[in-house]
């Protein structure tokens, strides 16, 4: 009978590292027509490496050491790439000022004298960005990499480029989802537009939205729902938690932050796109049997 088929489907899912939380989740996933995905750590591996270091102020090693010291407590993949590079260069990290997280922007000291993050953060604090700095940033972004800026006392000292890699089966997986009747595939990211477009160009995505705050990712889910769509959101970060909670189905990428996985309705223990396709496939198969 139906319950047995349902249990068999869930059992098969579990053996493949797909955890459906709650009895109604598979059914909800079966009805999804729109998939929204975070970029960093979800579409990409999030195993980032430092690709460019451009100093504007003096001593590259000193500035990189300060940047690494400031990032030392951050769990962001960008921070981990910066720390790995400082370690590789065998830099001694200075004492860092106390920093607070600025959502979707980076890190700032309370007095705004130390800033680490993106252009928006610099703009928010009225930091002067001259032509040399703009050229340096554009050169990094042209290669599709993310940029992290360090500003001290209102001056940009350093820009680093960080390279991320698209998961090997992302393009095939997204194409398969479209064949499975997912009408809209949307990529959402807090990262800059150039980096977002560079990644999206490698994938069958219908829409790309960049430079988004966590609340804006949430709003994007709500907009799609208001337009009558059933939305699955796939994410890995704290910044995805509001969208994961609000989507019809929140799907957490294994290896992501605990907050993201706790908030999700489905957890993909193995973070890859084959598993995502299989989750949708199993959800639909389970529903067609139980109906
Ligand atoms: P995403 O994971 O989609 O990139 P986040 O909200 O985590 O979104 O970050 C948005 C942007 O804020 C990043 O692309 C980066 O520019 C900046 N940022 C966030 N955290 C840090 C950090 N620890 N160091 C430097 N930049 C950061
Ligand atoms: Mg992410």
Would the pLDDT of 291 be above 80?
A: no
Q: Is the pLDDT of residue 192 over 90?
A: no
Q: pLDDT at residue 4 above 70? A: no
Q: Is 38 a catalytic residue?
A: yes
- Residue 238 is predicted with a pLDDT of 87
pTM for the model stands at 0.83
Given a cut of 50, whether residue 2 has pLDDT beyond it is: no
Predicted pLDDT of residue 136: 94
- What pLDDT is attached to residue 286? 81
Q: What is the pLDDT of residues 142-169, one digit of tens each?
A: 888 999 999 999 999 999 999 999 999 9
Determine contact, residues 155/133, Cβ cutoff 8 Å. no
pLDDT band at 173 (very low <50, low <70, confident <90, very high): very high
The domains located in the chain, with CATH, are 2-45+166-290 (3.40.50.1000), 49-163 (3.40.1110.10)
The lowest-confidence range among 34-38, 82-86, 282-286 is 282-286
Regarding the beta carbon of 40 and ligand 1, being less than 6 Å apart is answered: yes
* Ligand 1 atom index nearest CA of 38: 3
What number does the ligand 1 atom closest to the CA of 195 have? 14
Residue 104: what pLDDT? 84
Complex-level ipTM: 0.95
Residue 236, judged by CB atoms within 10 A of its CB (0-12, 13-18, 19+), counts as buried
Mean pLDDT of 31-53: 95
pLDDT band at 7 (very low <50, low <70, confident <90, very high): low
User: Which of 50-59, 149-158, 253-262 holds the top average pLDDT?
Assistant: 149-158
pLDDT at residue 186, rounded to an integer = 98
Q: Which backbone phi and psi does 108 adopt, to 5 degrees?
A: -145, 145
CB of 70 closer than 6 A to ligand 1? no
- Do the Cβ atoms of 260 and 157 come closer than 8 Å? no
What mean pLDDT, rounded, does the chain reach? 92
Most ligand 1 atoms within 8 A of CB, residue of 69, 106, 192 to mutate? 106
pLDDT tens-place string over residues 9-24: 667 788 889 999 988 9
- Look up residue 270 and give its two tokens: 């193995």
Q: Do 199 and 43 form a contact (C-beta atoms < 8 A)?
A: yes
pLDDT at residue number 57: 85
**Strand residue runs (E) in the chain:** 18-20, 34-38, 49-55, 99-102, 106-109, 114-117, 146-152, 155-163, 184-188, 207-209, 231-235, 249-253, 266-268
178 contact partners, CB below 8 Å, separation of at least 6 = 185, 204
Q: Is the pLDDT of residue 290 over 70?
A: no
**How do 249-253 and 231-235 pair as beta strands?**
parallel
Using CA atoms, how far apart are residues 188 and 180, in angstroms rounded to an integer? 21
- CA 12 / ligand 2 centre spacing (Å): 28
DSSP class per residue in 146-215: EEEEEEETTEEEEEEEEE--B-TTHHHHHHHHHHTT--EEEEE-SS-HHHHHHHHTTS--SEEE-S--HH
């Amino acid at each position: 009978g139906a319950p047995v088929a349902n249990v068999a489907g869930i059992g098969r899912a579990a053996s493949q590292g797909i955890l459906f939380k709650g009895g109604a989740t598979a059914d909800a996933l079966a009805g999804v027509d729109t998939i929204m995905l975070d970029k960093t750590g979800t579409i990409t591996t999030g195993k980032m490496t430092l690709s460019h270091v451009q100093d504007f102020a003096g001593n590259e090693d000193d500035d990189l050491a300060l940047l690494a010291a400031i990032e030392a407590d951050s769990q962001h993949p960008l921070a981990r790439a910066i720390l790995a590079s400082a370690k590789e260069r065998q830099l001694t990290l200075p004492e860092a000022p106390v920093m607070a997280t600025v959502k979707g922007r980076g890190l700032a000291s309370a007095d705004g004298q130390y800033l680490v993050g993106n252009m928006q953060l610099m703009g928010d604090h009225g930091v002067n960005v001259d032509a040399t700095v703009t050229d340096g940033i554009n050169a990094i972004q042209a290669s599709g990499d993310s940029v992290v800026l360090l500003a001290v006392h209102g001056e940009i000292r350093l820009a680093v480029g960080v390279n991320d890699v698209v998961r090997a089966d992302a393009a095939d997986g997204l194409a398969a989802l479209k064949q499975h009747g997912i009408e809209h595939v949307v990529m959402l990211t807090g990262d800059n537009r150039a980096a977002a477009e560079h990644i999206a160009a490698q994938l069958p995505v219908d829409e790309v939205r960049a430079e988004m705050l966590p609340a804006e990712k949430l709003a994007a889910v709500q907009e799609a729902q208001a337009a009558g769509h059933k939305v699955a959101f796939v994410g890995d970060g704290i910044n995805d938690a509001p969208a994961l909670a609000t989507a019809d189905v929140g799907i957490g990428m294994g290896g992501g932050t605990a907050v993201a996985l706790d908030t999700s309705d489905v957890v993909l223990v193995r973070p890859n796109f084959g598993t995502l396709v299989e989750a949708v496939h199993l959800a639909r198969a389970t529903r067609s049997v139980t109906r």
